[in-house]
């Protein structure tokens, strides 16, 4: 269960601080939600890092023109 702690729970015997966001066991999460000391968050989305995507190399073209010499 993915939750965020909103009120202190350390004095209740839990090792989570205010602002903790993470996955906790189902039993613990339900109890903290029942006591209104945490809020339920949607599970985080897994995204594909950009390193794994194929990226075409960047090609830079330069145009060189001859200029006439001055006398």
**Which pLDDT tens digit goes with each residue over 18-66?**
888 888 889 988 999 998 889 988 877 776 566 666 777 888 887 777 7
30: enclosing H helix or E strand: helix 26-34
Q: Where are the domains of the chain?
A: 2-40
Strands of the chain, DSSP E? 2-5, 21-23, 38-40
Q: Is the dihedral of CA 2, 21, 44, 35 positive or negative?
A: positive
Output the pTM of the full model. Answer: 0.56
Residue 2 bridge partners (DSSP):
23
C-alpha distance from residue 1 to each of 13, 25, 56, 60 (Å) = 19, 6, 40, 50
């Amino acid at each position: 269960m993915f939750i965020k702690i909103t009120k202190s729970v350390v004095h209740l015997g839990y090792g989570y601080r205010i602002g903790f966001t993470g996955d906790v066991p189902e039993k613990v999460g339900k109890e903290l939600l029942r006591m209104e000391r945490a809020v339920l968050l949607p599970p985080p989305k897994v995204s594909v890092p950009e390193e794994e995507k194929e990226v075409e190399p960047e090609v830079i073209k330069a145009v060189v023109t001859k200029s006439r010499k001055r006398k």
